[in-house]
Amino acid sequence: MKQMFRNISMSLIAFFMLGYSNIAWGQYDEIYRPQYHFSPSKGWIGDPDGLIHYDGLYHLFWWGHAVSKDMVYWEELEYPMVGDPGDFSYFSGSVVVDKNNDAEFGKNSLLAFYTRHFPGDSLPETQAISVSKDGLKFEYYKKNPVLDINEIFFRDPQVFWHEKTKKWVMAVSLPNKQIVQFYGSKNLKDWSFLSNFQGHGVQNSFWECPDIFEVPVLGKKDETHWVLFIGRGPNRVQYFVGDFDGSKFTPHSNIVSYLDKGEGMNAEVFEDFEDIITPKTRSGFLGNMYLDSKNQKDKNIIWESKPFIITKPAINFLISGSDSIDKQSIQLIKDNEVLKEAVGKGDSIFRWKGWDVTKWLGAQVRIRMVNKESSNSIDIALDHIQFSDELQNTNLEHGLWLDYGNDFYAARTWRDYDGKSNRKVMLGWLGNWEYSRTVPTTWGKGFESIPREIMLKESNEGFRLIQNPIDELKKLRGNSFELDITTIDGILDFPKISEFQNTYEMHASFKFDGNAKLEIKLQKGHGRSLILLYDSNTSLFKIDRNNTTDASSEKFLEKFKSIMQAPVNMDNGILNLKVFVDRSSVEIFTQDGEKVFSVLTFPGQDQTEVSMTSEGEKVTITKLKVWKLNSIWDKNRNN
């Protein structure tokens, strides 16, 4: 009986796949439409939901539904959610396969868990289920909700089976309180509270879309550790590595030390302000204290460091508060001359900033906090000054970030109900809530990232996630271009890459002989481009998106124009890049996935040129190979 049900359901899915594919073909070549990232034929797609692998098919829900045999070629199915009263919106969630009939809806029933969200936050959010017998239609459960704690913000259930404790576990968030809660159940309908996770990481905005799972360790057979994902609105994912006993998630001690105190960073701490008593009105500082200008506006020089000799190329610090250099700032001073100056973003959140001080190596300097306007109502604050070989000028809060681009959110992982795979693959939304509703697309709004395999890599700082594109994407490779070892002298143009029309995969390695800067321009044309910059002296990788798109909406461009940057450490003087360009997006995997940048671009259709240049000491291209990637929507594909 079990096998009969499975055969029938998979046959039905195959039938609907065939029918829908024939209807949908021809809709996938619009301006800005990605060619190898999944996007629905029309309408909205955001957070990936219900990622399961079952009976040989990968499922992707966004409360739409698509299936794939390989996570590359996708078929969109009919809208799956039926029978609801129509008074709420489906918010993010997950899908499970009830193989043992724990919920008594029938063996191998599929249960979709999601948040019921009511218009205008008028009623508490609750967790609900819909049930499917065929994998196509999910019928609303008449006794919903299955979990209600009377909270307006309570969302995004991720449900999975915990084998050691023989129970179902739900991870769900209280976004405005920065809490992830865990609940347990034997029957998928009655849930009991297990524990809270809170108090670590970045806590200044909504926590959403939690996921928790085991991840293998690179190079160590059979060793795994638990990883917790938390979406930090509007556009980032932070992660934690630790242990999960079926009830409680406990981050590793070195993860806690890194997040709470900054321990393990590749830097020398010059001043941590732990001996200063300060009212704690800000978030994101390290340790217990920080320096604040509050109640000290009668002073012109609020604080000044002892003199020191610059011995490292970078000075990094956490800064909060004033965003006006004319009012308050942090200064680097040499003989009463201001060499560098920095301000915050006008809020109470600490973020990393830094100065490249290479040109003053060996000089004696001081750091000052200064007040320039006594009537100013905004304060400035400073914490954790450090000297380093890496410029930590990210303008991000101190955390473990999954992606350093501006457009990767709500990452979730596939659960394998076929029991045939030990790898862990995740998918994210290539989007940003700051402008997701104003992107210049006419065919719909949003698309997903390429699927990425994730592993843990052991380092002096503890375990860190690395991520790389799944191998299955290689089947899309078409014509290729390869360059022999070449020293960059002047501007190198690559007309062969331009022929690939912004749908390609690039593997590149660069050898730096000493201090040099590399510039790569992608999607170049009409004076516009996406600019990638790398400075070998400070290890800073920078992406400049200020003049990339041909879109003209001021509302869209206000937040879209941006610079993204993070330190990327070379391996014996070699910078390795894997770059995936797909019309309106670029995903960059540095150093075998140690740092990743996901960026929306929306260039003009003829912005297809690529160029490279360098300055300083010699930069050599030791490897460059580029493949045209064929469209997953090609009607002649053999899937």
- Active site amino acids: 47
DSSP state of 450: P
Q: How far apart are CA 42 and CA 79, in angstroms?
A: 12
CA dist 185 and 219 (Å) reads 35
Whole-angstrom distance, CA of residue 318 vs CA of residue 307:
20
Which amino acid does the sequence have at 476?
Answer: L
Identify which of 457, 453, 447, 454 has the alpha carbon closest to the alpha carbon of residue 410: 447
Report how far residue 413's alpha carbon sits from residue 229's, in angstroms, rounded to the nearest whole number. 10
Closest CA to 65 of 53, 81, 54: 81
User: From CA 236, how far away is CA 255, in angstroms rounded?
Assistant: 19
Instruction: Tell me the backbone φ, ψ of residue 495, rounded to 5 degrees.
Output: -60, -30
Q: Comparing C-alpha atoms, which of 175, 182, 159, 176 is closest to residue 208? A: 175
* Residue at token pair 């022999």: 484
Dihedral over alpha carbons 631, 46, 412, 571 (to 10 degrees)? 60
Q: Is the peptide bond before 567 cis (omega within 30 degrees of 0)?
A: no
Q: Is the peptide bond before 48 cis (omega within 30 degrees of 0)?
A: no
Could you give the CA distance from residue 292 to residue 302 in angstroms, rounded to a whole number? 9
The residue count for the chain: 639
What is d(CA 283, CA 204) in angstroms, rounded to the nearest whole number?
A: 7
Q: Could you write out the DSSP letters of every residue in 466-497? A: EEEE-GGGGGGEEEEEEE-SEE--S-EE-HHH
Alpha carbons 586 and 545: distance in angstroms, whole number:
11
Distance CA 376, CA 295 (A): 11
Beta strands in 274-336 (DSSP E): 291-292, 301-304, 308-309, 314-321, 328-334
Between CA 409 and CA 238 the distance in angstroms is: 10
Dihedral sign (CA 444, 450, 451, 454): negative
